[in-house]
Structure 1
Amino acid sequence: MRPGLPRLRRKLPDNGGLVAASDPSTQPSRPDKDTSIMIRISLIVLSSAFAISAACAQQPASKPAMDTATHMKMMMPMNSDSAATKGYKQSMMTMMSGMPAYTGDADVDFMKQMKGHHQAAIDMAKVELVNGKDPEAKKLAEEIVAAQEKEIATIDTWLKTKGK
């Protein structure tokens, strides 16, 4: 019999007789409304935790972090790379090896680091201009060169005014 459904008759052990289920003395005590809500919330939280645990268990293990030396080795141009890939890898290697040390000044560090990134974008765009075939990609590369050169000039002016 499911809980919450009315019982028509219940056998009592002390007198062996049958009593109507509507008799309050024979009904089990029920939790108050607040307790009932808390039980429901607890069950929802518990089932959610199980569902999340199961979903996480099915995720592939994350790759271990790559150390800098391994990453730099992967970026080294290889003989089997296409001319474009060699150019892209070389621009990234040049950027990474030429990045200035951090000073602790958020503004100066931002400007100096962005200058390196902008120069790498120019270098990569030039690789596209030499090796690319798609007119839209080449047009974007031209726009990147012009925009990044302008931004590098702005950065250089800012750094000069700050004595950096």
Structure 2
Amino acid sequence: MSLRMITAATLLAITFTTPLAAQEMDHSKMNHGAMTMDGMAQPKGDTGPSSTAFAEANAKMHGGMDIVFTGNADVDFVRGMIAHHQGAIDMAKIELQYGKDAELRKLAEGVISAQEAEIKTMTEWLANNGG
């Protein structure tokens, strides 16, 4: 086999495999989390109603926390924490819907109250500080 044929074969191989490798690299960087093809969260382990609700709340929270950073630590902190606190509220509501333990249900009610107040404070701070 001549050097020209080897070079041509190598170039052909690179031409056809590079786009595939690029697709794989892009795909591997995507954060699918626990999402199914229909965009719904799929829990690890049990797939019952409460587990599915927790997986969906978790996916929503992590999506909300995936902010574009500004370089302003105060703004970035507040923007990320609002989504984090909303996630805590959403999970506490799931506990109230499905949970049976009276002590945990009371804790969930406290989480909702505290986190809603903190979200209000952070939202007002953002409005007053150009966030």
For the criterion TM > 0.5, the same-fold answer is yes
Matches within 5 A, 1:79-90: 81-90=47-56
Q: Specify the code of the residue in structure 2 equivalent to 1:147.
A: A
Where does structure 1 differ by over 4 angstroms across 4 or more consecutive aligned residues? none
2:64 is equivalent to residue 98 of structure 1: yes
Q: After superposition, what is the alpha-carbon deviation per residue over 1:96-120, rounded to whole angstroms, capped at 9, x for unaligned? A: 2223211111110001101010000
Cα distance, 1:70–1:157 mapped onto 2, change above 3 Å = closer
CA distance in 1, matches of 2:42, 2:94: 14
Cα distance, 1:77–1:71 mapped onto 2, change above 3 Å = closer
Q: Which secondary structure does the structure 2 equivalent of 1:157 belong to?
A: helix
CA distance in 1, matches of 2:58, 2:71: 24
| Structure ranking higher on relative contact order (CA contacts 8 Å, 6+ apart) | 2
Matches within 5 A, 1:38-117: 69=31, 71-73=33-35, 76-77=41-42, 81-99=47-65, 100-117=67-84
Q: Specify the code of the residue in structure 2 equivalent to 1:163.
A: G
CA distance in 2, matches of 1:93, 1:71: 7
CA contact (8 A) 2:85 2:119 kept: yes
Looking at CA atoms only, which structure, 1 or 2, has the larger radius of gyration?
Answer: 1
Structure holding more helix per residue: 2
* TM-score, structure 2 normalization: 0.67
How far did 1:69 drift? 2.9
* TM-score, structure 1 normalization: 0.54
CA distance in 1, matches of 2:30, 2:107: 31
CA distance in 1, matches of 2:69, 2:91: 24
Q: Which secondary structure does the structure 2 equivalent of 1:103 belong to?
A: coil
CA distance in 2, matches of 1:148, 1:129: 15
Q: What is the identity percentage for the equivalent residue pairs of Structure 1 and Structure 2?
A: 41
Q: Which secondary structure does the structure 2 equivalent of 1:153 belong to?
A: helix
CA distance in 2, matches of 1:68, 1:127: 28
Q: Specify the code of the residue in structure 2 equivalent to 1:113.
A: G
What's the Cα RMSD here?
2.2
CA distance in 2, matches of 1:153, 1:138: 23
CA distance in 2, matches of 1:85, 1:72: 12
Q: Which runs of 5+ in 2 are unaligned?
A: 1-28
